[in-house]
């Protein structure tokens, strides 16, 4: 069974299954909602004007009889959610009228459903940018206890590869933080370990990546940052199997690790790669996806108090089903 089939199977067995899909008039999302119900992976809520959502479904021949549809601008709970949003954000200058307007936006309404436990997770991004999906969630659902930074990881499955966990890796941060601090990098390592365990059943071995291995690059603030992040992570999360700073080859390849990082028991065995910044992470995952023909599953948003998952705008119906299944699995983790 492939990893994604395993994740769908896990989701079927879970109880917290209410996943809100704010892009309720988007065709792939409507098709995915039908499949989620049919395959008992999730109980989706589609957001949008009811006639428009059902109109799209009718055109597509999709059966939404078992899918809840909520129109945020007419919802019975709109006023109470607006008041909650206002209470939460008034110190940031939000007025009650602005809050009322914001909850009419499906991305804010959906985030508030998750915040108030009326839904267990949110999946969007088929037509909205990562930033647009993230901002309402960051402002309302916020980060998990003990975590200050939300980041985005990818599960990378590289064909015909013996490195990592037989070709399976977690790459992070590939989606959110342009220039993380050393503290944030340490937290990204922690959250990525959690993703590796909960979604991949993987025992994480984490490499903090750089263009230098154990001092080979001399002194530079970029290397210092990764070194500091490694120290912080080791101190704060002593149970993690983690080391750095490593170049990618020293992290992944046992033979290279032996010569470049002979004292490290993590070098050469890494399956969770923590990139020093978003440029490196985003470019890195796309290169591996395109050149090594790897399957790239994500971005998986990690560190959020409750699961919110972003989609790529090029996503397929199947991708939406898979991401919703991940959301269900994460909701119980
Ligand atoms: N973790 C936790 N909280 C955060 C984070 C974070 N990474 N970033 C912002 N916040 C919080 C802020 O503290 C703020 O909270 P507050 O309003 O309660 O004080 C709130 O979120 C909003 O922050 P802003 O700074 O106003 O939001 P901003 O407009 O900077 O947006 C965002 C944040 C959306 C994450 C932005 O950094 C972004 O767009 N990142 C890049 C996304 C991207 O384009 N990725 C690449 C494409 S994805 C791909 O290829 C897979």
Could you tell me the pLDDT band of residue 314, with boundaries at 50, 70 and 90?
A: confident
**Ligand 1 binding pocket mutation candidate from 111, 133, 134 (most atoms within 8 A of CB):** 134
Please report which helix (H) or strand (E) contains residue 326, including its range: helix 317-332
What is the distance in A from the centroid of ligand 1 to the CA of 174?
13
Which segments of the chain are extended strands (E)? 18-21, 43-47, 68-70, 121-124, 151-157, 168-172, 205-209, 241-246, 272-274, 295-302, 308-310
State phi, psi for 7 to the nearest 5 degrees: -65, -40
- Using CB distances shorter than 6 Å, the residues near ligand 1 are 92, 130-131, 134-135, 138-139, 143, 149-150, 174-177, 282, 299
- Which residue's entry shows tokens 């992290």? 251
Do 151-297 and 3-142+305-332 fall under one CATH topology?
A: yes
Domain regions of the chain by residue span: 3-142+305-332, 151-297
Pairing of strands 272-274, 43-47: unpaired
Answer whether 260's CB lies under 8 Å from 216's CB.
yes
**pLDDT digit string, tens, across residues 143-165:** 998 899 999 999 999 999 999 99
Residue % of the chain over a pLDDT of 90: 92
Half-sphere CA count of 159, side-chain side, radius 13 A: 7
Q: What span, in angstroms and rounded, lies between the C-alpha atoms of 72 and 117?
A: 16
What is the distance in A from the centroid of ligand 1 to the CA of 142?
11
**pLDDT digit string, tens, across residues 110-121:** 999 999 999 999
CATH architecture, domain 3-142+305-332: 3-Layer(aba) Sandwich (3.40)
**CB within 8 A of 147, min separation 6: which ones?**
187, 190, 191, 303
The pLDDT value given to residue 7: 93
The whole-number average pLDDT for the span 278-285 is 98
Using the atom order of ligand 1, give the atom closest to the CA of residue 149. 1
Residue nearest to atom 26 of ligand 1 (CA): 135
Q: Which CATH superfamily is domain 151-297 in?
A: Isocitrate/Isopropylmalate dehydrogenase-like (3.40.50.10750)
What is the distance in A from the centroid of ligand 1 to the CA of 315?
22
What is the distance in A from the centroid of ligand 1 to the CA of 143?
12
What is this structure's pTM? 0.90
Could you tell me the pLDDT band of residue 287, with boundaries at 50, 70 and 90?
A: very high
């Amino acid at each position: 069974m492939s990893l994604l089939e395993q994740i769908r199977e896990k989701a079927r067995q879970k109880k917290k299954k209410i996943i809100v899909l704010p892009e309720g008039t988007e065709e792939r999302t409507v098709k995915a909602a039908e499949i989620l119900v049919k395959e008992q992976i999730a109980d989706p809520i589609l957001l949008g004007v009811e006639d428009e959502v059902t109109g799209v479904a009718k055109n597509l021949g999709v059966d939404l009889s078992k899918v809840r549809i909520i129109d945020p601008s007419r919802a019975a709970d709109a006023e109470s959610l607006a008041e909650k949003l206002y209470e939460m954000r008034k110190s940031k200058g939000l007025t009650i009228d602005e809050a009322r307007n914001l909850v009419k936006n499906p991305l804010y309404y959906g985030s508030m459903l998750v915040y108030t436990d009326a839904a267990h997770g949110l999946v969007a991004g088929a037509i909205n940018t990562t930033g647009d999906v993230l901002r309402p969630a960051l402002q309302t659902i916020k980060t998990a206890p003990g975590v200050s930074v939300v980041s985005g990881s990818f599960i990378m499955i590289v064909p015909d590869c013996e490195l990592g966990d037989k070709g399976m890796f977690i790459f992070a941060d590939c989606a959110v933080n342009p220039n993380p601090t050393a503290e944030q990098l340490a937290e990204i390592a922690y959250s990525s370990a959690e993703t590796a365990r909960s979604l991949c059943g993987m025992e994480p071995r984490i490499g903090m990546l750089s263009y230098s291995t154990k001092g080979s690059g001399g002194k530079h603030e970029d290397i210092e940052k990764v070194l500091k992040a490694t120290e912080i992570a080791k101190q704060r999360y002593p149970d993690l199997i983690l080391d750095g700073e490593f170049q990618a080859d020293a992290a992944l390849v046992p033979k290279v690790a032996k010569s470049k990082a002979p004292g490290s028991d993590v070098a050469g065995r890494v399956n969770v790669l923590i990139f020093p910044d978003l440029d490196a992470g985003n470019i890195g995952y796309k290169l591996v996806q395109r050149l090594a023909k790897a399957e790239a599953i994500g971005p998986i948003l990690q560190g959020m108090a409750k699961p919110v998952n972003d989609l790529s705008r090029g996503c397929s119906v199947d991708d939406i089903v898979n991401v919703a299944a991940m959301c269900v699995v994460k909701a119980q983790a």
